[in-house]
């Protein structure tokens, strides 16, 4: 057994024993602890799943960088005549190679193709229909189309999707396929990781995928509780957050639970000598009832004096958490130190502790919104401003652009309505690509392209990509080679009022314009 599996087995035995008679240390199941805080766990690392996610990082490098030294060495030894995603481990391969294939299998289940020129993607065998889930056409394939590539679905000269051919082969998938934007200028196909918007694999997303594969992350989800709102985002000390989490998970040592775990028998409530449960100690005990009466009284006083400084200076939710903590502290002092407190003293202790903690917190600085100012246009420069209007219900867009000389002298503008557009970001990308094609047609060599989509501009400048935009951004990089100088920058929407109106008008047009 590997070291990773031995550690995992030891931790599992510590936190969760399958024998109910031995559940003395497992207050909360390991399957719950590895969940995220949003789902009621503490986000402990599941070592086996984390190890698989790290192994998948190596596999992702072999997929995304097939020409790197590591990929060439492993390909020459293990899969020189096979595709990495389809290779099977031989009987005499090393443990290292087997582990890499474990990571490969984790990635493979959530891997999709982003279409560029479509020459590498097999229509029937590969997943390419969606950028949110693995989807491929359902068979059976005909004899003539079983080896079809996505590039065979494109019109040869325009690189647009062939509607008639697609309708003959996949009539039920016509709209889905037409919403894909392939590269018109020869951009390569790219494999993407579906759990990340950029399409790039990360250990974090791989870890949660491994948890789901191990049936840990999604097991026994408690949909009735908003854990973040009810526990973790309350403005209280971390010890109180954890205390509230333990109460909701029934993981505090009250008499009922201690007796059920065969730790202490006959433990009673220290205030009234009745059977002690979580509900009893915090709400049903006569001492707790008196405490909450005082709390309601103080809360009503706060409402009556809402225009002035509140009587205790605390919010209702925050004070209730401190009252629960105070009840628990008084209960423990009664048991272990034989000290009794009245209900009034318990409430005053909660208010005093809460105020002391609040006064010790550093003052909050007012948040200042960072404004990104676009640079001014150079004197004599040619600027192309683009915008797009998009309607989600119609899945249609109206990309529009205008070319300016000296920033204010507009001398040309165009629009190009487009159908089957799945997002506003794709619509903005179509606007910039069409504007660049128009500038090349007019033989403009020095251009500045402006857009009010900061997300798109950052993606172009930093080389990052979004799965839906792969074909479009590939074309933008290829079209940039036709200019002597070209740059992209963000522009405020107020400066694109003309292009915005032009885009709205183009969206309402039923017949697309062309230049």
Average pLDDT value for residue range 197-226: 74
Which residues have C-beta within 8 Å of that of residue 42, sequence separation ≥ 6?
A: 33, 35, 245
Separation of alpha carbons 462 and 44, rounded Å: 34
Separation of alpha carbons 324 and 19, rounded Å: 33
Write down the H helix ranges in 158-202: 163-169, 174-178
- pLDDT at position 224, please? 55
4 in Cβ contact with 47 (< 8 Å) = yes
Average pLDDT value for residue range 108-115: 89
Q: How many residues does the chain have?
A: 515
Residue 388 has pLDDT above 60, yes or no: yes
Average pLDDT value for residue range 384-403: 90
Task: State the CATH class of domain 382-508.
Answer: alpha beta
387 in Cβ contact with 499 (< 8 Å) = yes
pLDDT digit string (tens) for 140-172?
888 888 889 999 999 887 788 889 999 888 888
Give the 3-state secondary structure of residue 233.
coil
CA neighbours closer than 13 Å in the CB half-sphere of residue 253: 13
pLDDT digit string (tens) for 33-85?
888 888 888 989 989 999 999 999 999 999 989 999 999 999 998 888 888 98
For residue 452, count other CB atoms closer than 10 A to its CB. 21
| 490 phi and psi angles, rounded to 5 deg | -80, 145
Which residues have C-beta within 8 Å of that of residue 424, sequence separation ≥ 6?
A: 388, 390, 397, 453
Which residues have C-beta within 8 Å of that of residue 20, sequence separation ≥ 6?
A: none
* Backbone torsion region of residue 199, taken as left when φ is above 0, otherwise alpha when ψ lies between -120 and 50, otherwise beta: left
Residue 95 has pLDDT above 80, yes or no: yes
388 in Cβ contact with 398 (< 8 Å) = yes
Q: Where are the beta strands (DSSP E) in 58-162?
A: 111-114
Average pLDDT value for residue range 453-479: 86
Q: Which residue in this structure is represented by tokens 């990082």? A: 57
Please name which of 412, 450, 447 lies closest in space to residue 431, comparing C-alpha atoms. 450
For residue 176, count other CB atoms closer than 10 A to its CB. 16
Tokens at 4, concatenated = 């990773």
Which residues have C-beta within 8 Å of that of residue 55, sequence separation ≥ 6?
A: 99, 100, 102, 103, 106
| Pairing state between β 382-391 and 418-419 | unpaired
115 in Cβ contact with 179 (< 8 Å) = no
- pLDDT at position 226, please? 82
**pLDDT above 70 as % of the chain:** 83
Tokens at 503, concatenated = 């885009």
Please name which of 496, 491, 473 lies closest in space to residue 388, comparing C-alpha atoms. 496
Separation of alpha carbons 199 and 294, rounded Å: 56
Residue 9 has pLDDT above 80, yes or no: no
Supply the DSSP symbol for 305. T
Supply the DSSP symbol for 229. I
Which residues have C-beta within 8 Å of that of residue 86, sequence separation ≥ 6?
A: none
Q: How far is CA 220 from CA 39, 92, 148, 428, in A?
A: 9, 40, 43, 42
Average pLDDT value for residue range 368-384: 59
Question: For the chain, what are the domain ranges?
Answer: 3-108, 111-194, 228-359, 382-508
pTM of the model: 0.72
- pLDDT at position 19, please? 45
- pLDDT at position 86, please? 86
Q: Where are the beta strands (DSSP E) in 115-261?
A: 190-193
- pLDDT at position 493, please? 87
Residue 469 has pLDDT above 60, yes or no: yes
Please name which of 241, 242, 373, 350 lies closest in space to residue 299, comparing C-alpha atoms. 350
State the virtual CA torsion across 456, 114, 112, 131 in degrees, nearest 10. 50
Supply the DSSP symbol for 450. E
Average pLDDT value for residue range 96-110: 90
**pLDDT above 90 as % of the chain:** 32
């Amino acid at each position: 057994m590997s070291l990773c599996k031995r550690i995992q087995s030891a931790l599992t035995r510590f936190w969760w024993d399958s024998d109910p008679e031995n559940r003395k240390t497992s207050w909360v199941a390991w399957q719950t602890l590895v969940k995220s805080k949003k789902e009621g766990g503490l986000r402990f690392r599941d070592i086996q799943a984390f190890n698989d996610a790290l192994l998948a990082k190596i596999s992702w490098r072999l997929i995304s960088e097939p020409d790197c030294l590591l990929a060439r060495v492993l390909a020459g030894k293990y899969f020189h005549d096979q595709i990495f995603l389809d290779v099977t481990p031989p009987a005499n391969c090393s443990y290292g190679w087997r582990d890499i294939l474990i990571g490969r299998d984790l990635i493979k289940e959530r891997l999709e193709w982003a279409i560029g020129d479509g020459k590498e993607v097999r229509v029937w065998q590969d997943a390419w229909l969606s950028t949110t889930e693995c989807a491929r056409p359902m068979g059976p394939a005909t004899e003539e189309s079983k080896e079809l590539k996505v590039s065979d679905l494109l019109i040869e000269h325009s690189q647009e999707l062939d509607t008639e051919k697609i309708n003959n082969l996949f009539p039920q998938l016509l709209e889905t396929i037409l919403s894909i934007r392939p590269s018109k200028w020869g951009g390569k196909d790219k494999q993407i990781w579906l759990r990340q918007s950029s399409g790039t694999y990360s250990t974090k997303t791989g870890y949660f995928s491994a948890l789901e594969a191990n049936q840990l992350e999604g097991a026994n989800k408690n949909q009735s509780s908003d854990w973040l709102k009810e526990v973790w985002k309350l403005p209280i000390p971390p010890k109180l957050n954890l205390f509230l989490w333990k109460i909701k998970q029934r993981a505090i040592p009250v008499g009922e639970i201690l007796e059920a775990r065969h730790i202490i028998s006959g433990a009673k409530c220290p205030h009234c000598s009745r059977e002690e449960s979580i509900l009893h100690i915090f709400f049903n005990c006569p001492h707790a009832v008196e405490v909450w009466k005082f709390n309601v009284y103080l809360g009503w006083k706060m409402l009556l004096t809402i225009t002035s400084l509140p009587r205790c200076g605390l919010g209702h939710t925050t004070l209730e958490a401190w009252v629960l903590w105070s009840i628990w502290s008084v209960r423990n002092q009664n048991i272990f130190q034989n000290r009794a407190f009245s209900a009034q003293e318990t409430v005053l202790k909660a208010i005093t502790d809460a105020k002391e903690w609040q006064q010790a917190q550093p003052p909050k600085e007012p948040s200042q919104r960072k404004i990104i100012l676009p640079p001014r246009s150079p004197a004599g420069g040619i600027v192309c401003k683009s915008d797009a209007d998009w309607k989600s219900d119609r899945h249609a867009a109206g990309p529009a652009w205008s070319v300016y000389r000296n920033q204010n002298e507009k001398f040309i503008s165009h629009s190009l309505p487009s159908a089957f557009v799945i997002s506003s970001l794709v619509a903005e990308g179509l606007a910039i690509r069409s504007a660049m094609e128009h500038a090349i047609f007019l033989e403009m060599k020095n251009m500045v392209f402006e857009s009010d989509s900061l997300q798109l501009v950052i993606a172009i400048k930093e080389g990052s990509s979004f799965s839906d935009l792969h074909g479009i951004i590939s074309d933008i990089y290829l079209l940039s080679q036709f200019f002597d100088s070209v740059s992209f920058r963000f522009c405020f929407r107020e400066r694109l009022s003309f292009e915005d109106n032009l885009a709205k008008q183009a969206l309402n047009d039923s017949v697309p314009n062309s230049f």
